[in-house]
Amino acid sequence: MGTRVNAGARAGVVGRSRRRRKTPLFPLLLPLLFISCQTDQPEQGGTPAVVPEAPALPPTPVFDADSAYAFVAKQVAFGPRVPGSRAHTACGDWMVQRLKAAGAQVVEQTGTVISYNKERLPLRNIIGQFHPERKERILLLAHWDTRPFADKDDERTNEPIDGANDGGSGVGVLLEIARHIAAKEHGPGVDILFTDVEDHGQPSGAMAFDEHSIDTWCLGSQYWVKNPHVPGYKARFGILLDMVGAKDARFHQEAFSMQYAPAIVRKVWKTGEALGYGDRFVPETKYFVGIDDHVPVNKVLRIPTIDIIEYDPQTQAFGPYWHTHDDSMDVIDRASLEAVGRTVLEVVWKER
């Protein structure tokens, strides 16, 4: 994850008479008005018009939390996925393989971006397209890189973190969803976007931290919105997953999501409640995200995109593991992955 906030009838029939005389019009109109008022009623013995029902959808596939958990563990096993590292390359290759195995057409978007300290970083955005021939689209996204240092830790601050939740959890949920999307023969196609270089932003304690520092985050999504994999790319809506796998995670309605896409927030939160996860999807807005990948998608491409991201009341921001070495597999809980994954899959599956 990037950074937190510092803060009728026709009347007028003329009667005819052999004698030309003035006839009061009102008594003549009464029966006509009465007849007119009856025209909207079905005839006796008639049947009302039948509105055809939409065909029933096939049942939503079962989201497998064990599978999602295994996908998170596989990423962590590669090591920290810092752009330019061997672990980053190997994990990216594996993700491409998984998307292709799920039936996606894969587009890899490569380039170079400049970090907050002027370092040139290799970029690899990975896009899995399901039913790319369909004009109507839904966008699902998560970042797959990990923080190159543990700047929120008290120890080993210059070493990269595992990023099991911050990076791994969103990817794990989307890879599990990807296993089912090719079978979705109805409604819009789906694009799964794994953004790179999201978590390489300027440390909050850096000497030069200023109002421009916010732009040092989410470099992969910033690159993609300026260079979408399909020219003029549009989608009905987007859903970003970030830090969705921690034990007992609660998801408040993130403020930028409510600003740009309140209807999508309500759709997702109501779906979560209907599935029995009302305790997870809290209908209360919290302003705690400074920037995340959904912000450039909203601002530049105008695709209403929301962020499902954990809010911790104790820190009034992200979980205490954030940007520390505690962000390991010990944080990940299958029940949290299931609550988010099942909810998102249900929302996507019900789109006609």
| Each residue's pLDDT tens digit, 304-332 | 999 999 999 999 999 999 999 999 999 99
* pLDDT for the residue numbered 9: 37
Segment 69-88 shows an average pLDDT of 98
Q: Is the pLDDT of residue 157 over 60?
A: yes
Query: At 191, which CATH number?
Result: 3.40.630.10
Whether 13 maps to a domain, the answer reads no
Q: Is the pLDDT of residue 138 over 50?
A: yes
Q: Which two tokens stand for residue 223?
A: 């690159």
Give residue for tokens 């007028």: 12
Give residue for tokens 């296993």: 179
Whether 17 maps to a domain, the answer reads no
Higher pLDDT, 240 or 8: 240
pLDDT tens digits, 236-282:
999 999 999 999 999 999 999 999 999 999 999 999 999 999 999 99
Q: Which two tokens stand for residue 343?
A: 């909810």
Whether 51 maps to a domain, the answer reads no
pLDDT band at 49 (very low <50, low <70, confident <90, very high): confident
Q: What is the DSSP string of 54-108?
A: PPPPPPPPPP-HHHHHHHHHHHHHH----TTSHHHHHHHHHHHHHHHHTT-EEEE
pLDDT band at 205 (very low <50, low <70, confident <90, very high): low
pLDDT band at 50 (very low <50, low <70, confident <90, very high): confident
* pLDDT for the residue numbered 31: 38
Give residue for tokens 């949290």: 336
65-78 vs 170-181: helix crossing angle, rounded to 10: 130
Number of domains in the chain: 1
Mean pLDDT for all residues in the chain = 89
* Domain housing 86: 66-202+213-349
Whether 159 maps to a domain, the answer reads yes
Question: CA-CA distance, 343 to 68, in Å (whole number)?
Answer: 14
Whether 49 maps to a domain, the answer reads no
pLDDT band at 90 (very low <50, low <70, confident <90, very high): very high
Question: CA-CA distance, 96 to 91, in Å (whole number)?
Answer: 9
Whether 35 maps to a domain, the answer reads no
Whether 168 maps to a domain, the answer reads yes
Q: Which residues contact 75 (CB under 8 A, 6 or more apart)?
A: 81, 91, 144, 163, 164, 167, 168, 171, 172
Whether 292 maps to a domain, the answer reads yes
